[in-house]
A and B are shown apart, each in its own frame.
Chain A
Amino acid sequence: ELKVEQNPLFLSMQEGKNYTIYCNYSTTSDRLYWYRQDPGKSLESLFVLLSNGAVKQEGRLMASLDTKARLSTLHITAAVHDLSATYFCAVDNNNDMRFGAGTRLTVKP
């Protein structure tokens, strides 16, 4: 059974700092997605990673995928308050999507 684990579950950062969110999964897959959810809102797609070594960057966020280690990372560079949200990774196992528990990120001035 596919299991997806994210850590940390809660993250409080100072503005300007860097940090990494980790997403581990238990079975072979080369389809991994990162989503953002703002309070009271639905999920918004951030990144789609489809192969080993894939790296995608958008602004201060960079996502990578290591299928051999079954690990994806979401790296935050020089955090700003607007990045405060909950971030989810999701792994696709033949259209059976499994989500991590989410990382609630708070960026403080």
Chain B
Amino acid sequence: DVKVTQSSRYLVKRTGEKVFLECVQDMDHENMFWYRQDPGLGLRLIYFSYDVKMKEKGDIPEGYSVSREKKERFSLILESASTNQTSMYLCASGRGGLPNQPQHFGDGTRLSIL
């Protein structure tokens, strides 16, 4: 089974802090994704990456950056956390070039910015 592991289930940080959310997948997937999930808005794509050191902006990249130095790890960075970034963050991975494969999701990180 594919395993997508997010480093924290719950995280509380203060406004202005730099926050790192880590995601690791164990299936050698090319594609990795970061979403935030908010009530009534579904999942919104922040960034995705289709290869090491490659990144693409999603719907809502403002206030975020990402890093993919190794194929298995995709990090989401909140440069200066703000209260409107309080949300559930979901990481996902998927096989590149094979459209019949769905994404596999981690358990999510519930981030609160105080």
Interface residues in chain A, defined as those with a beta carbon under 8 Å from any beta carbon in chain B:
4, 6, 9, 31, 33, 35, 41-45, 48, 50, 88, 90, 92, 95-102
Contacts and interface: CB of A to CB of B under 8 A. Distances in A.
B31 A42 contact: no
A88 B31 contact: no
Contact of A88 (B33, B42, B45, B50): B42
B56 A96 contact: yes
A45 B103 contact: yes
Nearest to A44: B105
A97 B106 contact: no
Given A9-B40, A43-B90, A88-B43, A96 B103 contact: no
Contacts, number: 58
Contacts of B100: 48, 50
A97 B33 contact: yes
Contact of B102 (A6, A41, A45, A101): A45
Classify the interface of chain A: helix, strand, loop or mixed: strand
A48 B56 CA distance: 24
A33 B48 contact: no
B74 interface: no
A29 B22 CA distance: 31
B59 interface: yes
Contacts of B99: 31, 50, 92
A33 B33 CA distance: 15
A92 B33 CA distance: 12
A66 to B, nearest CB: 18
Interface string B41-56: 1111100101000001
A88 to B, nearest CB: 6
A99 B59 CA distance: 11
Contacts of A95: 31, 48, 50, 56, 94, 96
Contacts of A98: 45, 59
B13 to A, nearest CB: 21
